[in-house]
Chain A
Amino acid sequence: MANPLLLFSDYTFQTVALGSLLMGVLSGILGSFAVLRKQSLLGDGVSHAALPGVVFAFMLTGTKNTEILLLGALGTGLIATALMMNIVKHSRVKFDAALAVVMSVFFGLGLVLFTYVQKSPNANQAGLKRFIYGQAAAMLERDVYFMQICAVVLLFIVILFFKEFKLLTFDSDFAKSIGMPIGWMNAGLSLLIVLAIIIGLQTVGAILMSAMLIAPAAAARQWSSKLWQMITLAAVFGGLSGVLGTWVSSSFAQMPTGPAIVVCVSVITIISLLFAPKRGLLSRLTRQHNQKRKLEAERG
C-alpha cells in the first residue's frame, strides 16, 4: 500500500467509515445515559436478544433489507427487556441472572432459527450472520443512508429533551415532584438506548455491541464533569474509534472491523482511566504522593 491515507478518498471506504462513524457517535451519546442510569450491561442483553428478531423478520418477509431486519431486532430486543424487568420484579432472581438467562436463551433461539432458515433455498446466510460478528464492510450505501436518518432523528430527540433526560437520570424523584411525566420519559429514553444498540449491530455485531455502549461513555466521564461535555466527548470517542477501526481494518489484510473498532475504543478508555487530569489514576497517585510528602514535611 503506497499511502494508507489514500483510503479516505476511496468511495467504498467513505461509505463504510461513515456508517461506523454514525454507529460510534450514537452509541457514545446513548451509552452515556445507559452508563449513568446503571444499565451498562443492558446493551449486552438487548444485542444478543436482537438475533432471533433478525432471523424471524427474514423468515416472515423473505427480505434482507436492513430496515426490516432491524425492526425484527427491535421487537425481540424489547421483548427481552420486558422479560428481564418482569423476572426481577416478580421473583427473587436478581438482575444479573435474569440478564444472563435471557440473553443466552435468546441467542440460542437465534441459532435455532438461523439453522432452520439455512435449509430454505433462498437463504444466503452471510446476510444474517453479520449481525452476530458485525461486518461493517458489508454495509450498503442505503444502509448508511438509513443510519444517517436514524442518527439525525435520535440526535434531534436527545438535544430537544436534553434537560429532561439529564434530570431524570440524576434525580427522578425530584423530576416527578415538579410534574415531569417521568413514566413516558423513562420509556422514551430506554427506547432510544435500545435503538442505538440495534443500529450498531451490523457494524460491530451482537457480541461486541456492549463495549461500544460502555467504553466511550466511561472514557469521556474521566475527562469531564459536565453532562453535555461528557456526552459530546463520548460521541467523539465513539465516532473516532469507528473511523479509526474501519481504517485499520481496511489497511491491513484479514483484520475484522468490529474487533478493530473495539480495540480502538478500549485503548482510548485505558488512556483516559490512566492519564485523565484530576480523575485519572496517575493524577490520583501523584496527589497521594504529594500529600504524603507534605505530611512528612510538616512532621519535620
Chain B
Amino acid sequence: MSAGIEIQIIAVLTAVACALPGVFLVLRKMSMMSDAITHTILLGIVLGFFVTQDLSSPVLLLGAALIGVITVWLTELTAKTRLVSEDSAIGLIFPLLFSVAIILISRYAGSVHLDTDSVLLGELAFAPFERMVVLGIDIGAKGMYTGGVILLLNILFIGIFFKELKLVTFDPILSAVIGFSPAVFHYSLMGMVSLTTVGAFEAVGSVLVVAFMIAPPATAYLLTDDLKKMIGLTAGFAAVSAIVGYQLAVYLDVSIAGSMAVTTGIIFMLVFFLAPKRGFFADIVKKKKQKEYFAENAFLLQIDSGVNAMERAAVTSKREKKIMADLRQKNWIVGEEKYALTAEGIQQVESIKKEWFPGFQNQEN
C-alpha cells in the first residue's frame, strides 16, 4: 500500500471518529469543551510518561483520557461556585493545565522526547513510518489501527447508547425522571471525547482535532433535524474533508492537517451560505419574504379599514407599487386609484385577522 493511500485511510478513520462524538457536543452547546480537552491531554501524556518512563505505553493514553475528564470536572466545579461565568471557567482551567504541561516538557526536555509541535499540530505525513508489526509481519501503518479502534469504540458507544444519548441531549429532565442519569452519560461522553482526542492527536494534532470534532457536525446541523441523518451526514462530511484536504495538501505542498481543517471550514461555509432551509441566503430570503408577507397583509387590512383608499390614493414609492401589483395579481384587490377588496381579498382579511389578532375574534361582531 502506498504511503499516500495509508495517510488517507488514517485521515478518514480519524476524522470520522472525531466527528461522531462531536455531534453531541454541538447539540449540547459544549463545543468549546473539545478545545479545552484537546489542549489538556498533553498534561496527561506528560504525567503518564513520568510514571512509566515509556512513550509508547498505553498508560499514557489512559492518563490523557483521564486528564480530559478531569478538565471537564474542574471546569464545572469552577463554574458551580458562580464566582465566574461558565465560559470564563473554561478559559481559566485549560490554559493552566496546558501551561503546566508545556513547562514540564520544556524543563525535562532531556528525558521526555515529546515534541510539543507534533502533539499540537500533528504530522500526518510521517504517520506511515510508524508500522504495526505482528509476529514479525508488517501489517500496515499503526495509525490505521489506532484510527480504526477509536472509530469502532465511538460507533459502539453511540450505537449501544443511542436512545439514551438522544434522550439526555434533548430532554435531560425527562431522562433523569425515568432513571437515566444525565451526569453519567455526560461524563461517559466526555470520556469518549477524551479517548478520541488521545487517539487522534498523533495523526492530526490536537488543535485541529477541534476542527474535525465540531465543523462536520455543525455543517450537518444546518441540513437536518433528524439525529440519525445528522450523524450520517457528519460522518460523510468528515470523510470528504479528510480526502479533499489531503489532495489539496499534496497539490500545494503544505501541512496536511492544516489543509484538512481548512477543508472542513470551506465545506461548512458552503453549506452555511447555501443550505436550502437554514443557510445564510435562505435566511435572508426568508426574512425578506416575511417582510413582504407582512407588508401585503398590512395593506390589505388598511384597505379593509377604509383608511388606505383615502390616504394612499396615489401610491408613489416603488415598493408600494410592487406590493399593490402583487395584491392585484393574487386577485385580492381591484382598482387603480382607489382600491377595493375582492371576495377572495375579504376572505384573506378574515384569515389574517385571526392569525394576527386572535384575541379579538369574539368581540369583532
Point out residues on A near B: beta carbons under 8 Å: 35, 38, 40-41, 43-44, 48, 86-87, 90-94, 96-116, 119, 132-133, 207-208, 210-211, 213-215, 218, 221-222, 252, 254-256, 258-260, 262-263, 266, 269, 273, 279, 281
Chain B residues contacting A132 (CB-CB under 8 Å) are: 120
A207 and B98 form a contact (CB under 8 A) = yes
B96:A108 contact, CB within 8 angstroms: no
B81 engages A281 (CB within 8 Å): yes
Q: Say if the beta carbon of B84 comes within 8 Å of chain A.
A: yes
Name the A residues within 8 Å of B103 (CB-CB).
255-256, 259-260, 263
State whether the Cβ of B364 lies closer than 8 Å to any Cβ in chain A.
no
Q: Hey, which bits of chain B sit against chain A, CB under 8 A?
A: 26, 29-32, 34-35, 39, 78, 81, 83-85, 87-88, 90-92, 95-96, 98-100, 102-103, 106-107, 109, 116, 120-121, 207-208, 210-211, 213-215, 217-218, 221-222, 249, 252-255, 257-262, 264-265, 268, 272, 275, 278-280, 283-284
Q: Is the CB of A104 within 8 A of B32?
A: no
A96, closest chain B residue (CB): B31
Task: Say yes or no: A41-B214 contact (C-beta < 8 A), given A90-B284, A108-B260, A260-B103.
Answer: no
Q: List 28 A-B contacts (CB under 8 A).
A: A35-B88, A44-B32, A90-B280, A92-B222, A93-B272, A94-B29, A96-B30, A99-B31, A100-B218, A101-B268, A104-B35, A104-B214, A105-B261, A108-B257, A108-B265, A109-B258, A111-B208, A114-B255, A132-B120, A207-B39, A207-B95, A210-B91, A211-B91, A215-B91, A221-B84, A259-B99, A263-B99, A266-B95
Note all chain B residues with C-beta closer than 8 A to A119: 253
Q: Is the interface of A mostly helix, strand, loop or mixed?
A: helix
Q: How far is the CA of A86 from the CA of B96 in the complex (A)?
A: 31
A146 to chain B, nearest CB (A): 25
Contact of A100 among B31, B81, B258, B278 (CB under 8 A): B31
Q: A86-B280, A215-B92, A281-B81 are in contact. Are A104 and B261 (CB under 8 A)?
A: yes
Is the beta-carbon distance between B88 and A40 smaller than 8 angstroms?
A: yes
Q: Within the assembled complex, what's the spacing in Å between the Cα atoms of A114 and B87?
A: 30
Kindly state the separation between the CA atoms of A211 and B36 in the bound complex, as whole angstroms. 12
* Cα-based distance from A218 to B93 in the complex (angstroms): 12
